[in-house]
């Protein structure tokens, strides 16, 4: 083939690729939705974010603030057209009032054939999701959390023991600790115990298999990150080629962990107050309820159970540790808040009169709740939530005016971090002020302006468990130590965070000073 012909074919291929990369970029303009001009293939996402040199967090806040006079705005993520809603009344319509038109998440990764993704609660759609949600809800009641508190508290004790051992090791009265690693290990151990029914101590056995596997699942770097991008860009091609996000070795590990535990417990009639037991109960109740049913909803399979256990791990591993990191950082930056929290903790200890700390005592702590609520307001671990439109829909404001035409299959996003940092809802939003959530002030907060766990029926089902984990370890840490600035403490979190992860480049270094009894 002549060189000229090769060059012509190459030019045609490049042209066709270009046309494909920009083929959806007319959508927002056609519907009159404000947006910035996209870059071919990349869309509106700054390439610096993809390279880890700029922050996705700041990008989402910046887009939200740029359209303060609009109820909605658009962002092209690669080739995908995403509609962001910033008006609270419209968020209520999409997330609650007209939920039947927006019932599902965008689960491109879950549609790829990986069971632990496709059968997990977050990926399930329509009636399958409703059935699974109804089956799982009883597992997260207050009484069930009270049972699991014991398991979480055991992990907290091990974490506090580690800090004390580090202090003794340096022969000093204080020690600097990097808290992202610390809280990740605690979260790992808590999930291992509460979700999978196994006991590990990642502070002593720092390279245990459960911890290694968990890091492999939750750290989206290298090849996994590339595959995740391709799943978002060309999900049908990835499914056709049977390319999975995660190595079969990882999936087999979780499979054996859960299925073997279930069989052993069933055979020996072992009861442990953890997620596997609660899911086994849910499975039994579901099958009894649907004993006379036929079809796809008639059974709750072992794969269904495995998917939920794995989801609790993936969903809780990074989000809980991130919440803990930001909460601890705000406590060292705001010593008056830390001191007041310590006073409430002492009052709680005194009220126990020598009895062990328990779930009911934790739930009575008002200032603790205010502190964690404000941390989740300022630093929500999940900065966006999404819905997929299931039918053509006219999005109208309360006066009946048409805001936009939403088409079946459209991606709808709620920019949680933008709303949480909006001075219209939270004066001086960059300030850490737990008083926003006092008993008096909380009633003034629009519920749609505070969405750390999502909105409507699709909000996080495990929020009670997550809050219990966060509050329990913060309780014990502040009871035993004062958290103060270390030499390597990050000076400005917002400016130091880059890429998609909520981690500053200096990480979360803090100094722990033992309290004198």
pLDDT tens digits for range 399-444 = 999 999 999 999 999 999 999 999 999 999 999 999 999 999 999 9
The tens digit of pLDDT for each residue in 67-88 reads 999 999 999 998 889 999 999 9
Q: What is the residue-wise DSSP string for 255-272?
A: HHHHHHHHHHHHHHT---
* 146-150, 378-382, 475-479, 480-484: range with lowest mean pLDDT: 146-150
Q: Which of 49-53, 207-211, 438-442 has the highest mean pLDDT?
A: 438-442
Q: Is 361 exposed, middle or buried (0-12, 13-18, 19+ CB in 10 A)?
A: middle
Q: What is the dihedral of CA 26, 31, 36, 38, to 10 degrees?
A: -20
Determine contact, residues 106/122, Cβ cutoff 8 Å: no
185 token code pair: 């290990």
* pTM metric for this prediction: 0.91
Give the 3-state secondary structure of residue 75: strand
Q: What is the mean pLDDT of the chain?
A: 89
Q: What is the predicted pLDDT for the residue at 275?
A: 80
Q: What is the predicted pLDDT for the residue at 95?
A: 97
Longest dimension (CA), the chain: 91
Give the 3-state secondary structure of residue 39: strand
**Interatomic CA distance for residues 312 and 317, integer angstroms:** 8
Label residue 316 by pLDDT band (50, 70, 90): confident
Domain 3-514 = CATH 3.30.1370.110:
no
Q: What is the predicted pLDDT for the residue at 103?
A: 96
Task: For helices 275-289 and 126-136, give the axis angle rounded to 10 degrees.
Answer: 120
The tens digit of pLDDT for each residue in 440-466 reads 999 999 999 999 999 999 999 999 999
* 183-197, 236-250, 319-333, 404-418: range with lowest mean pLDDT: 236-250
Q: Which residues are annotated as a binding site for heme?
A: 460
Residue 484 pairs with which residues in a beta bridge?
Answer: 511
pLDDT greater than 90 at residue 65: yes
| Nearest residue to 510 via CA among 331, 249, 356, 381 | 331
Determine contact, residues 477/452, Cβ cutoff 8 Å: no
Q: What is the predicted pLDDT for the residue at 373?
A: 99
**Residue 94 carries which DSSP code?**
I
Q: Which residues are annotated as a binding site?
A: 460
**Interatomic CA distance for residues 466 and 496, integer angstroms:** 26
The tens digit of pLDDT for each residue in 137-190 reads 888 888 889 989 999 999 999 999 999 999 998 887 899 999 999 999 999 999
Q: What angle do CA 356, 357, 358 make, to 5 degrees?
A: 110
pLDDT greater than 80 at residue 225: no
Question: What is the pLDDT averaged over residues 248-276?
Answer: 81
**Interatomic CA distance for residues 251 and 269, integer angstroms:** 26
**Interatomic CA distance for residues 311 and 308, integer angstroms:** 5
Q: Which of 54-58, 108-112, 340-344 has the highest mean pLDDT?
A: 340-344
């Amino acid at each position: 083939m002549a060189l000229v012909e090769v060059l012509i074919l190459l030019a045609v291929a490049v042209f066709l690729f270009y046309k494909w990369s920009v083929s959806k970029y007319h959508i927002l303009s056609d519907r009159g939705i404000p947006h910035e001009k996209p870059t071919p293939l990349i869309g509106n996402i700054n390439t610096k974010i993809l390279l880890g040199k700029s922050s996705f967090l700041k990008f989402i806040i910046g887009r939200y603030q740029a359209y303060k006079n609009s109820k909605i705005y658009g962002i092209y993520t690669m080739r995908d057209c995403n509609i962001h809603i910033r008006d609270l009344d419209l968020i209520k319509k999409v997330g609650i009032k007209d939920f039947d038109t927006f019932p599902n998440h965008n689960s491109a990764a879950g549609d790829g054939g990986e069971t632990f993704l496709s059968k997990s609660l977050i990926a399930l759609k329509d009636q399958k999701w409703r059935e699974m949600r109804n089956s799982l809800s009883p597992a997260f009641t207050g009484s069930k959390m009270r049972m699991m508190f014991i398991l979480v508290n055991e992990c907290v004790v091990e974490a506090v023991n580690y800090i004390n051992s580090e202090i003794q090791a340096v022969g000093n009265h204080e020690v600097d600790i990097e808290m992202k690693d610390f809280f990740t290990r605690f979260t790992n151990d808590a999930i291992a115990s509460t979700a999978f029914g196994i006991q590990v101590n990642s502070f002593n056995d720092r390279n245990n298999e459960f911890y290694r596997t968990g890091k492999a699942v939750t750290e989206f770097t290298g090849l996994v990150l590339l595959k995740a991008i391709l799943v978002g860009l060309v999900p049908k091609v990835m499914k056709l080629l049977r390319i999975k996000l995660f190595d079969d070795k990882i999936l087999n590990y979780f499979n054996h962990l859960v299925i073997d535990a279930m069989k052993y417990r069933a055979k020996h009639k072992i009861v442990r107050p953890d997620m596997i037991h609660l899911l086994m109960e849910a499975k039994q109740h579901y099958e009894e309820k649907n004993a006379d049913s036929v079809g796809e909803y008639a059974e709750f399979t072992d794969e269904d159970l495995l998917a939920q256990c794995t989801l609790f791990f993936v969903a809780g591993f990074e989000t809980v540790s991130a919440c803990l990191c930001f909460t601890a950082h705000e406590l060292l930056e705001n010593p008056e808040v830390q001191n007041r929290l310590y006073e409430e903790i002492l009052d709680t200890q005194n009220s126990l009169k020598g009895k062990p700390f328990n779930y009911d005592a934790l739930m009575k702590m008002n200032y603790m709740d205010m502190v964690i609520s404000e941390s989740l307001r300022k630093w929500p671990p999940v900065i966006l939530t999404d819905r997929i439109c299931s039918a053509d829909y006219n999005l109208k404001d309360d006066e009946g005016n048409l805001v936009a035409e939403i088409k079946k299959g459209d991606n709808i996003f709620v920019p949680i971090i933008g709303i949480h940092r909006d001075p219209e809802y939270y004066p001086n939003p960059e300030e850490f002020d737990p008083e926003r959530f006092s008993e008096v002030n909380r009633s003034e907060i629009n519920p749609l302006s505070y969405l750390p766990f999502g909105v409507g029926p699709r909000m996080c089902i495990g929020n009670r468990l997550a809050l219990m984990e966060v509050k329990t370890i913060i309780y014990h840490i502040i009871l035993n130590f004062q958290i103060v600035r270390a030499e390597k403490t990050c000076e400005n979190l917002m400016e130091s965070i880059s890429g998609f992860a909520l981690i500053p480049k200096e990480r979360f270094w803090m100094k722990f000073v033992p309290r004198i009894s």
